[in-house]
């Protein structure tokens, strides 16, 4: 059986997916969740193979919910907003169903999922490494979810398999690579100045020599971040020095 979840805050939309899905006996519907937090809990508990996910939901969006999962399941987005289609496919979605959709259109999504299951399926782990411009990060702090606007970040620091997010309110950890983070942020606002550091350009107060071919960046919060030779060249280019 293929384990499935529906995550949608609109009861009518969820019921339509449930009705269409009933035509496929090989799918086992584990439940219907009305928001991202319920969906997150259900995914962690049941480990479904496929989820039908709305984008705009209370508290956190469907995309933000996916960011909180280390290994997200396959996703078919169901939404009334077509502007999220490109972002959905960047997130390696199976398909993007624009409400209201027909049984035929739904069937096409199921066929895509089944074909991918039988073929050389790309790793869904890439869902946690979205290479897209965004202005906020979602992190888990104990049992709570915190959304951090990127303009509040002073700098990012690599710590093993995690990224340390340094802000005026504290330090937070998010599991992702420095490379994917660099690709995700706006290059006009954030620059990687070292193998392990990526800084907010608006936080720079001073650049000073440190050792041969190396520098230090002094930030508004008083922190000093090392800058490599390559990183300094990037800084000079972005700052027009």
Residues 47-99 have pLDDT tens digits of 999 999 999 898 888 988 988 888 889 999 998 876 666 565 555 688 989 88
E strands within the chain?
A: 2-7, 27-33, 50-53, 74-79, 95-98, 136-141, 144-149, 153-159, 162-167, 170-175, 190-194, 197-200, 204-209, 215-219, 224-227
238 CB burial (10 A radius; 0-12, 13-18, 19+): middle
Q: Domain locations in the chain?
A: 2-126, 148-239
Contact 191, 235 (CB under 8 A): yes
E strands within 21-134?
A: 27-33, 50-53, 74-79, 95-98
* Confidence (pLDDT) at 41: 94
Q: Which helix (H) or strand (E) holds 17?
A: helix 11-21
* Confidence (pLDDT) at 146: 81
- Here the contacts of 157-163 (C-beta below 8 Å, separation 24 or greater) are 157/196, 157/197, 158/195, 158/196, 158/197
Tell which residue, 76, 36, 31, has the closest CA to residue 56. 36
- For 120-148, what is each residue's pLDDT tens digit? 344 333 433 443 345 778 787 876 778 88
Rounded to an integer, the average pLDDT of 171-200 is 89
Question: With 70 as the cut, is the pLDDT of residue 21 above it?
Answer: yes
Sheet containing 190-194: give its strands across.
170-175, 162-167, 153-159, 197-200, 190-194
Going 60 to 83 to 173 to 169, the CA torsion angle's sign is negative
CATH class in words for 2-126: alpha beta
In whole angstroms, how far apart are CA 121 and each of 62, 116, 118? 22, 5, 8
Strand, helix or coil for residue 182:
helix
* Confidence (pLDDT) at 153: 95
Tell which residue, 187, 210, 211, has the closest CA to residue 198. 187
- For 138-184, what is each residue's pLDDT tens digit? 787 876 778 888 999 999 999 988 999 999 889 999 888 888 888 87
* Confidence (pLDDT) at 88: 57
Contact 169, 185 (CB under 8 A): no
- Which residues share a beta bridge with 137? 148
Q: Which helix (H) or strand (E) holds 237?
A: helix 229-239
The topology under which CATH files domain 148-239 is OB fold (Dihydrolipoamide Acetyltransferase, E2P) (2.40.50)
């Amino acid at each position: 059986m293929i384990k499935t979840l529906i995550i949608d805050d609109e009861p009518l939309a969820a019921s339509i997916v449930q009705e269409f899905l009933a035509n496929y006996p090989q799918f086992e519907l584990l439940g219907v969740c009305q928001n991202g937090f319920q969906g997150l809990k259900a995914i962690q508990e049941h480990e479904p193979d496929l989820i039908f996910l709305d984008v705009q939901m209370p508290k956190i969006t469907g995309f933000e919910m996916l960011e909180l999962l280390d290994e997200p399941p396959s996703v078919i987005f169901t939404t009334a907003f077509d502007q999220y289609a490109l972002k959905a496919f960047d997130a390696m979605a199976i398909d993007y169903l624009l409400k209201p959709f027909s049984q035929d259109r739904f069937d096409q999504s199921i066929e895509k999922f089944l074909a991918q299951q039988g073929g050389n399926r790309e790793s869904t782990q890439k869902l946690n490494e979205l290479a897209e411009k965004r202005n906020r990060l979602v992190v888990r702090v104990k049992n709570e979810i915190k959304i951090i606007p990127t303009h509040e970040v002073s700098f990012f620091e690599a710590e093993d398999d995690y990224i340390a997010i340094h802000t005026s309110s504290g330090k937070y950890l998010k599991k992702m690579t420095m490379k994917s983070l660099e690709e995700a942020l706006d290059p006009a606002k954030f620059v990687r100045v070292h193998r392990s550091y990526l800084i907010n350009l608006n936080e720079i107060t001073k650049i000073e020599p440190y050792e041969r071919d190396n520098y230090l960046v002094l930030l508004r919060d008083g922190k000093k971040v090392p800058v490599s030779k390559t990183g300094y060249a990037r800084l000079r280019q972005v700052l027009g020095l």
